[in-house]
Structure 1
Amino acid sequence: MRALVVLLATVWLAWPALAVNPDEMLADPALEARARAISEGLRCLVCQNESIDDSDADLAHEIRVLVRERLKAGDSDDQVRQYLVDRYGEFVLLKPVFAWHTLLLWAAAPAALLAGAAALAIGVGRRRRLAEEAAGLTEAEKKALDELDGNAG
């Protein structure tokens, strides 16, 4: 059993290395490292939640080759990214840029968190207020309320 777990863990950890084919790799280790760094931040447009480095899709292969061609042509990392954004749109970036047109995307998570915290605070306050009001009931009212609670459950 332990050997199976080790084998599965090894395959799982090595899986991303299988996506980049040896024929895609550049001879210059520095350029290959730059290509890998760029590829990690680019989305596979077929898989959508994987980087092109992790994807086996044909389009991901084409983009990986394109990244390496642009680097060999002398483009900077930013120029390669901008070329891909111009060609495929900002969706190709795994981490969206922070700009006015993506403000809603960046603000949605904090806004949802704040709305949830406000709803929780309102609910706790309402429950506390009801408990305080129930403390002021007469014994007959408390008994009638307990009977209603017992009948409801």
Structure 2
Amino acid sequence: MRALILSLALALTPLAPALAVQPDEVLPDPALEARARELSKVLRCPVCQAENIDESNAELSRDLRLLVRERLVEGDSDQEVLDFVVARYGEYVLFKPDASGTNLILWLAGPAMLLLGLGAAAVYLRGRKSAPEPTVAGLSEDERKRLAEILKE
């Protein structure tokens, strides 16, 4: 039975999330640690770019995790911590940037392009529907004779 449980645990280990938070980073206060984890999940690793800093093993992510925890211990609110990190590294570190200012263009560009594409497709299909059917010319007498010769062979 032990062997079965051990083999099952080993088989499922790759499916577990690989959190990169080191034991020396964990705050003694569980409430602050929970806040730090939540903030770490919304901050993008500037090195990895596809991982949040909670899951990234990059050295810069470790520095950011420590910075977030340091700011929380100093008494900053969650928004103040995010503002501090964004002021230092830019809005790129946010997985979900605010939909305001120049970011509004990026937020609206996708749906606008979709609507433009659908409109262009509708115009194209409407034009094809109302276009006259092409006339097909029949075979000339020489072509019919040649076709008959080919079919006989």
If the length of structure 2 is used for normalisation, what is the TM-score?
0.78
Task: Detail structure 1 runs of 4+ shifted over 2 Å in the superposition.
Answer: none
Q: Hey, what does 2:95 align to over in structure 1?
A: 94
Deviation of the 1:116 alpha carbon: 1.5
Q: Hey, what does 1:49 align to over in structure 2?
A: 50
Task: Say which structure is richer in helix.
Answer: 1
Q: Hey, what does 1:112 align to over in structure 2?
A: 113
For these two proteins, the number of residue pairs brought into alignment is: 131
CA distance in 1, matches of 2:89, 2:17: 29
Residue 11 (1) aligns with residue 14 (2) = yes
Tell me which amino acid in the other structure corresponds to 1:122.
V
**1:134-145 → structure 2 map (5 Å cutoff):** 134=133, 141=135, 143-144=136-137
DSSP 3-state at the match of 2:23: coil
Residue 64 (1) aligns with residue 57 (2) = no
- Deviation string for 1:112-136 (max 9, x for gaps)? 1111211221222122123xx21xx
Question: Any stretches of 5+ residues in structure 2 without a counterpart?
Answer: 1-6, 139-153
Residue 103 (1) aligns with residue 104 (2) = yes
RMSD of the TM alignment (CA)?
Answer: 2.0
Moved more, 43-52 or 117-126: 117-126
Q: Hey, what does 1:24 align to over in structure 2?
A: 25
Percentage of identical aligned residues = 49
Tell me which amino acid in the other structure corresponds to 2:17.
A
CA distance in 1, matches of 2:54, 2:127: 51
DSSP 3-state at the match of 1:20: coil
Question: Any stretches of 5+ residues in structure 1 without a counterpart?
Answer: 146-153
